[in-house]
Homo-oligomer: A and B are copies of this chain.
Amino acid sequence: MIRAGIVGGTGYTGVELLRILALHPNVEVAVVTSRADAGTRVDAAYPSLRGVIDVVFSIPDVEALAGCDVVFFATPNGTAMLMTLTLLDRGVKVIDLSADFRLKDAAEWSVWYGMEHVCPELLPEAIYGLPEVNREAIKNARLVANPGCYPTSVQLGFLPLLEKGLADVGQLIADVKSGVSGAGRKAELAYLMSETGESFKAYAVSGHRHLPEISQGLKLAAGASVNLTFVPHLIPMIRGIHATLYAQVSHNKASLEEIQALYEQRYAYEPCVDVLPSGSHPDTRNVKGSNKCQISLHQPQGGQTIVILSVIDNLVKGAAGQAVQNMNLMFGFPELDGLKTLALYP
């Protein structure tokens, strides 16, 4: 039984961590912090957790957190990096759900996140928490940078093609659509029901923070720089990400059947990636509340464009679920502990 702490327990990823960890056989949630709600019972703020969570929000306190075996940061960018060094020095393992440790290049991080990185010396050590790529390194890591939601769906969708050098890396397109919870639990006009309901639009087309993170990952997979056009959109629903990925694959490189076989092989032993029969249309609802990523492949009209469809739940495989998957690896628990819940359908 290990003790877990959650810093920033009042955002959606924080509450998801609570939902998942509450039923984890090997974890006891010992500390949940929130500056704004310190002193309030967690289950008073979140009645969905009544009866299972018996914790009161506390002010973030390094001592209390140092008493944990693992600390999850479900905080705004720029927060985790303030406490991580101290916690690592105290022997605590850290899993950061924010972006603070995702980019290897501190200067690039500064450009995209608008602030100076306070502990760039940790960047080389931080392991990017995508188990499908970094499983072994995660097992031995002290510090895991949990991937962003869009980056998870896009990388899982592109990896096999890029690893095998089958796609033209100068022409990758990711047209991605997300439910509104991806924006977080923030009181902003743009995310009101009255602003997003019965509504659809793109945003941040000129450049979204996830772009450098995705490019970094695709470059590692391809062994070469990639040119990715990444266009995010907002769907009038709460949970779910659907990535429609376009890659140019010349006929002599591989047929659709060969690519299908490649994906099935690549993910054969991945418990959280499910390659559907080619031609399927994955639906975000079939992974809602679960830690699965479902993928399918198409080659419309037999042309050179391969279309990959990739769906996840942005709060689970896109955040909290993946964080717990990483924790399981770091502590040697069965990888799916706490993550067996099936998708909620309908």
Binding site for B on A (CB under 8 A): 12, 15, 19, 22-23, 46-52, 171, 173, 175, 177, 179-181, 183, 185-189, 191-203, 205-207, 211, 227, 229-231, 233, 235-240, 242, 244, 246, 248, 274, 276, 279-290, 292, 294, 298, 300-301, 303, 305, 307, 309, 311, 315, 340-346
Contact = CB atoms under 8 A, between A and B. Distances in A.
A259 to B, nearest CB: 15
Copies of the protein in its oligomer: 4
Given A197-B193, A238-B193, A207 B300 contact: yes
A62 to B, nearest CB: 28
A342 B233 contact: no
A286 B192 contact: no
Contacts of A239: 198, 346
A300 B288 CA distance: 31
Contact of A236 (B22, B47, B237): B237
A346 B181 contact: yes
Nearest to A207: B301
A237 B199 contact: yes
Contacts of A186: 189, 192
A287 B199 contact: no
Contact of A286 (B48, B179, B191, B211): B48
Given A19-B345, A288-B344, A206 B48 contact: no
A179 B346 CA distance: 11
A229 B342 contact: no
Contacts of A231: 244, 300, 307
Contact of A240 (B188, B198, B240): B198
Choose among A46, A205, A246, A346 the residue with the greatest number of B CB atoms under 10 Å from its CB: A346
Candidate in A188, A281, A282, A303 with the most chain B CB atoms within 10 angstroms: A281
Contacts of A281: 201-203, 205
B235 A342 contact: no
Given A47-B280, A171-B171, A236-B237, 16 more contacts: A19-B342, A23-B340, A48-B286, A48-B342, A180-B193, A185-B195, A198-B285, A200-B283, A201-B242, A201-B282, A201-B284, A227-B303, A229-B307, A233-B242, A288-B344, A341-B341
Given A187-B189, A242-B201, A283-B201, A19 B175 contact: no
Given A192-B185, A201-B284, A235 B236 contact: yes
Contacts of A315: 346
A83 to B, nearest CB: 25
A344 B283 contact: no
Contacts of A283: 47, 199-201
A194 B300 contact: no
